Amino acid sequence: MAMFDRKGQIRIIESFLAIAVVFSAVLVSVTFPSAPDLSKQKSLASMGTQTLMTLDTNGTLGNLILQQNWTDIKTALDILLPTGISFNLTICDENGTTVNAEVIQNSNLLGREAVSVQYVCATRSQTVRFFVVRLQLAWMG
Amino acid sequence: MRKRANSGQILLIAAFIMASLLVSAQLYILEVGKTSGETESDTLSNFMLNIQSGSRNVVIGSLANVSNGGLSNALELNLREWVAFIANQYSHGKSTLYYTLRDTARYSSGIWLDWSLNGYGVSSAYVNFTHMLSGFEADVDQSYPMNITTTLLIASTNRRLSENTKQVNVTINVQNEAEPALARQITIYYRVSSNWLTPDITNNYTLLDYGNGTYLASFVATFPTESVEVSAHIADCRDIYVQANATSIEI
């Protein structure tokens, strides 16, 4: 009789353990970060495009690329983009070779939900050059 | 009896399998979300604006080249390269840019340079663009003209100081697309016999910038003849060169 009682108790403990395992798995799933918010990303992308267009007004962006003035490009992006946005800019020439010798970014984008904007830039110089500017953006924090 | 004793362990194993399935499914969803996290978001309208802005830069650069003594077909060559370059840049569909260089009485292969003697100079480029874009969002045909024109207007007066010495004033007006514009460089010349000379500090040369595209150059020079001819050569902020000549009027 006592043995039967003990077996019953073990069964109950095993059931509880099983429920605990499944429940903890559900909890872990719920606490995972959700999928990226697309509307937030679209606004970020739109902001990035507008920023590059503003920077390209009067051919400024092309001139800065030709002068290899990466510091001024970073400063301009710091000014034009709202605070709280991380960016990373890569500039490629007609052959797809990266031309910016220095990293143009304000903070690291690793581990963040980034959005990428591509801008085709033609210089206003007498010898016209073409570049592809790729701006990656992410919200900080 | 043995089978009954193992049933609790099977229950636990099943629970572990269920738990791992739940967690791995959630991880998979997260990974799929992450790959779409970095999205190419160059939408159709933004791309069209981008190309319009780039085309404008190409026309300006080409006109700067031609007006500074470059090849007369620089515009055609640059546009051909630009069109080829952007053809592969739209990742959401097919992008084709067509252009037509204006060829009228004034324009030749899209370029018009007129640096005449009547106080008027013009350096202009005119191209008609058609951008055809077929993508996931829509099919769009957009046509737009691109007119880049730097105009220089000069007028001159002079006042006799002594028999052959005259004080000359030259009013310079610079325009980009019929709007007042600033000059990056201005050089004034005056004619003595068959030579064109530039006034300097010995001529009390001054250049006054009104800040609205109007400049006043003044200098004193000796002219052996009654006629005073002046010339202004300018480069605007876009590096487009233009010049104009005028005969100064005595007041």
- Residues 6 or more apart whose Cβ sits within 8 Å of residue B154: B119, B121, B170, B171, B172, B173, B230, B232, B244, B245, B246
Partner A contacted by B9 (CB < 8 A): yes
Amino acid (one-letter) located at A76: A
Same domain, B144 and B165: no
Same domain, B135 and B50: yes
A44 by DSSP, 3-state: which?
Answer: helix
pLDDT (0 to 100) of residue A3: 57
Partner B contacted by A26 (CB < 8 A): yes
Residue B81 is part of which domain span?
44-149
pLDDT (0 to 100) of residue B3: 52
pLDDT tens digits in sequence order for chain B, 251 residues long: 455 566 667 877 888 888 888 888 878 876 665 544 444 445 788 888 999 999 999 999 999 999 999 999 999 999 999 999 998 888 778 889 999 999 988 999 999 999 977 899 999 999 999 999 887 767 889 999 999 999 999 999 999 998 889 999 999 999 999 999 999 999 999 999 889 999 999 999 999 999 999 999 999 999 988 889 999 999 999 999 999 999 999 88
Mutate to test the interface with A, among B45, B50, B92 (most CBs of A within 10 A): B50
pLDDT (0 to 100) of residue B114: 93
Same domain, B160 and B243: yes
pTM value is: 0.78
Instruction: Please give the residue of chain A at the shortest CA–CA distance from B86.
Output: A120
Partner A contacted by B242 (CB < 8 A): no
Same domain, B174 and B124: no
Strand B93-101 to B241-247 pairing = unpaired
- Domain-located, residue B114: yes
Please state the domain count of chain B. Answer: 2
Answer whether B57 sits within 8 Å of A33, measured CB to CB.
no
Partner A contacted by B77 (CB < 8 A): no
Strand ranges, E, within chain B: 93-101, 111-115, 120-135, 139-160, 165-176, 179-180, 183-192, 195-197, 206-209, 214-222, 229-236, 241-247, 249-250
Q: Is the ipTM of this complex over 0.85?
A: no
